[in-house]
Amino acid sequence: MFSDTAVIKVKAGDGGNGAVTFHREKYVASGGPDGGDGGRGGSVVFVADDGINTLSDFRYKRKYVAENGQKGGPNRCAGKSAPDLIVRVPRGTLLYDQETGRLMADMSGDEPFTAAQGGRGGWGNSHFATATRQTPRFAKPGVPGEALEIRLELKLLADVGLVGFPNVGKSSLLSVVSEAKPQVADYHFTTLSPVLGVVRVEEGTSFVMADIPGIIEGASEGVGLGHEFLRHIDRCRLLVHVVDVAGSEGRDPLEDLDTINRELAAFNPELASRPMLVAGNKCDLAEDRQIEAFAAAVREKGYEFFPLMAAIAHGTDALVRRCAALLSELPPIRRYEPEPVQRPDPAVLRDRSVTVTRRDGVFVVEGEWLLRVMRGVNFDDEEGLQYFERVLRSAGVIDALVKAGASEGDTVSLYDLEFDFVE
């Protein structure tokens, strides 16, 4: 089953905890702290893979979790860092942050993209030894890995897109000008997913052509599988509008041309100005006067016209060569620029200010830097708590609480941590 959208959850690995160990050696009465650092957690990395052409796999597996880093060991041995988790997607896949809608990456090139960064490993107790604290019995826990929800959207990378109503001969045309083998049959919506084919014009000249499933009236509003089909036209540099010039199904070919063009413009106004050629197929079923009248009307609208009998490859060579000539003058396939991440100002990161408010008798302390410090403190360890208390005093948090009116025994809340105030 073809699928071109999916929403998945990714979680990078947590950093390994630092170790609390002490040197043990024969004839050494009291060795110092030698706990090693934890290893870094694995990151979640996306890679474009030409062997994949659909997002179907992501409908069945929706969660991707990288391994955690190993904890530190004795003798200052660092824990092993976890390998990155590689997620392979079809070339042309766009990655969006589901929560914010921000475009994170366009997986059209060969550069990998790190979507979720693995957490740093925590420091072992060897880092916390000082002249006055020679036996630190605490270490830093590993930093949690990043986690987020990502929306995947596939937009095919094709130079030429074949558009038109169902059953006008788009698949037949692709099958005779390339080695692609789309399903061809005499009924509507034979093609239910876009098909790519490489068209070789001559030595050193080729381009990619996409058979876009039949678009119908109302497709821009989601009628049928409108949006699923239309999004794959977005990157095409050149459009070839295939029309049943004989009107073999009772429709007027000129009305078909106008209808599809309206749907393209409604979906994306920029598509209305996209270079387009008109291919009049099934000329063997039409009278000469029908072909001539349609060709004149098409040229009056400003389009080049190519009469075809795609089933027997009649007229296809001229169309293919004209496509190649136009593509040589057009800009390359569009790539989407990711939206930059809004990173805090370095001055803000250095800011150690806090806000203290009193709510229902509780003193609430808030500060962006406090969250970062708290992620690296093991509050289950007594010496870890002492370390955190020293940070609060040196940063002026205790003084801020006193200024706000806190006294002995009052409750203080620091995000998910609550304690009784002691001056």
- Final residue of a domain: which of 277, 295, 327? 327
pLDDT of 44 reads: 97
* pLDDT 10s digits, 210-240: 888 756 554 444 444 444 567 778 888 999 9
Find the mean pLDDT for residues 56-85. Answer: 93
How many distinct helices (H) and strands (E) make up the chain?
A: 9, 18
* pLDDT 10s digits, 294-353: 999 999 999 999 999 988 989 999 999 999 999 999 998 888 888 876 544 555 445 678
pLDDT of 181 reads: 67
Q: What is the DSSP string of 238-261?
A: EEEEEEETT-TTS--HHHHHHHHH
Residue 185 has pLDDT above 70, yes or no: no
In a domain, 254, yes or no: yes
In a domain, 341, yes or no: no
Q: HSE on the CB side for 77, CA within 13 Å?
A: 10
pLDDT of 228 reads: 59
- Final residue of a domain: which of 135, 154, 173? 154
* Separation between Cα atoms, residue 116 and residue 268, nearest integer Å: 32
* pLDDT 10s digits, 148-158: 999 999 887 88
Range of the domain at 275: 160-327
SS3 240: strand
* Separation between Cα atoms, residue 332 and residue 208, nearest integer Å: 12
The whole-model pTM stands at 0.70
pLDDT of 187 reads: 37
In a domain, 387, yes or no: yes
* Separation between Cα atoms, residue 330 and residue 396, nearest integer Å: 62
CATH classification of the domain holding 29: 2.70.210.12
* Separation between Cα atoms, residue 172 and residue 312, nearest integer Å: 9
Assign 48 a pLDDT band (cuts: 50, 70, 90): very high
pLDDT of 269 reads: 84
* Lowest mean per-residue pLDDT among 92-101, 173-182, 356-365, 393-402: 173-182
Provide, for the chain, the percentages of residues in helix, strand and coil under a 3-state DSSP scheme, each rounded to the nearest 5: 25, 25, 50
CB of 202 closer than 8 Å to CB of 164: no
Are 129 and 174 found together in one domain?
Answer: no
In a domain, 340, yes or no: no
Residue keyed to tokens 């006193």: 402
CATH classification of the domain holding 186: 3.40.50.300
**Residues linked to residue 11 through DSSP beta bridges, in sequence order:** 65, 147
Question: Which tokens sit at 148?
Answer: 């987020």
Are 315 and 361 found together in one domain?
Answer: no
Are 123 and 169 found together in one domain?
Answer: no
In a domain, 75, yes or no: yes
In a domain, 333, yes or no: no
Question: Which tokens sit at 400?
Answer: 């801020």
Are 294 and 147 found together in one domain?
Answer: no
Residue keyed to tokens 């399903």: 183
CATH classification of the domain holding 383: 3.30.300.350
pLDDT of 350 reads: 59
* Separation between Cα atoms, residue 177 and residue 290, nearest integer Å: 26
In a domain, 336, yes or no: no
**Residues linked to residue 281 through DSSP beta bridges, in sequence order:** 244
Are 112 and 226 found together in one domain?
Answer: no
Find the mean pLDDT for residues 381-406. Answer: 85
- Final residue of a domain: which of 104, 125, 154? 154
Phi-psi region of 247 (alpha: psi -120 to 50; beta: other; left: phi over 0): left
**Number of domains present in the structure of the chain:** 3
Q: What percent of the chain has pLDDT over 90?
A: 37
pLDDT of 354 reads: 86
Are 217 and 169 found together in one domain?
Answer: yes
Question: Which tokens sit at 118?
Answer: 């693995």
Are 301 and 170 found together in one domain?
Answer: yes
> Which one-letter DSSP state was computed for residue 25?
B
CB of 91 closer than 8 Å to CB of 156: no
pLDDT of 240 reads: 94
* Separation between Cα atoms, residue 134 and residue 195, nearest integer Å: 69
In a domain, 388, yes or no: yes
Find the mean pLDDT for residues 272-278. Answer: 91
Are 12 and 90 found together in one domain?
Answer: yes
pLDDT of 87 reads: 97
